[in-house]
């Protein structure tokens, strides 16, 4: 039964996404699910599995955008192809989830896709549990902002780090899903 014909207007869950940053947190997905009226926010997403994307590296990069609030100008999570870091066999770990079309639209807005901060691409993600393969949408910083972040030499140090709240969301989710400790300590924990 489609969402429009359902008596309770329950959303459908047709879009599979791979989240490696704050969207791994159920708390974060619930926050956006609550913005969708007349439905239970839990109905808008289902965590299917945990998995990894090979030949990529997790990174926090400064997202230099025009903003009136300088506290928002902190580093954000993205993934880089191994060619950027010249490291082989790296993996990015994350959650594989199905989200409703309605929640997906909010995530597009949240990730700044309409402002070209991030873009969505489809990648093959491998389950950490069963080795099953999933085709999933992944949000990554656009090449323009990646190049700007990597080549901009005068970035103030505080812009190279995530906010404490943002990092905590990512680290707590990674720990809850039992990601490898070395991965968490090497890539996700940047604030001392």
Task: Give the model's confidence band at 63: pLDDT under 50 very low, under 70 low, under 90 confident, else very high.
Answer: confident
Q: Which has more pLDDT, 80 or 159?
A: 80
Q: Which long-range contacts (CB under 8 A, 24 or more apart) does 188-191 make?
A: 188/58, 190/60, 190/75, 190/161, 190/162, 191/161, 191/162, 191/164, 191/167
pLDDT digits 0-9 by tens, 105-135: 999 999 989 888 899 999 999 999 998 999 9
User: Cα torsion for 51, 53, 57, 58, to the nearest 10°?
Assistant: -40
CATH of domain 15-188: 3.10.490.10
pLDDT digits 0-9 by tens, 10-53: 566 689 999 999 999 999 999 988 888 777 878 889 999 999 99
Per-residue pLDDT for 64 more than 70?
Answer: no
Region of 116 on the Ramachandran plot (φ > 0 left; ψ -120 to 50 alpha; else beta): left
Q: Against a cut of 0.95, is the pTM above it?
A: no
């Amino acid at each position: 039964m489609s969402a429009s014909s359902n008596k309770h207007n329950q959303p459908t869950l047709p879009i599979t996404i791979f989240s490696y940053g704050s969207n791994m947190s159920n708390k974060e997905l619930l926050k956006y699910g609550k913005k969708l009226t007349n439905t239970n926010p839990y109905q808008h997403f289902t965590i299917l599995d945990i998995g990894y994307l090979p030949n990529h590296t997790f990174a926090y990069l400064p997202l230099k955008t025009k903003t009136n609030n300088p506290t928002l100008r902190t580093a954000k999570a993205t993934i880089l192809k191994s060619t950027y870091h010249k490291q082989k066999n790296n993996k990015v770990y994350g959650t594989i989830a199905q989200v409703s079309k309605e929640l997906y639209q909010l995530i597009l807005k949240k990730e700044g896709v309409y402002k070209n901060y991030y873009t969505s691409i489809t990648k093959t993600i491998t389950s950490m549990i069963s080795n099953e393969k999933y085709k999933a949408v992944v949000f990554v910083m656009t090449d323009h902002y990646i190049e700007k972040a990597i080549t901009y030499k005068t970035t103030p140090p505080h812009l190279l780090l995530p906010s404490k709240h943002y990092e905590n969301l990512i680290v707590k989710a990674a720990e809850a899903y039992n990601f490898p400790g070395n991965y968490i300590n090497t890539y996700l924990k940047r604030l001392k």
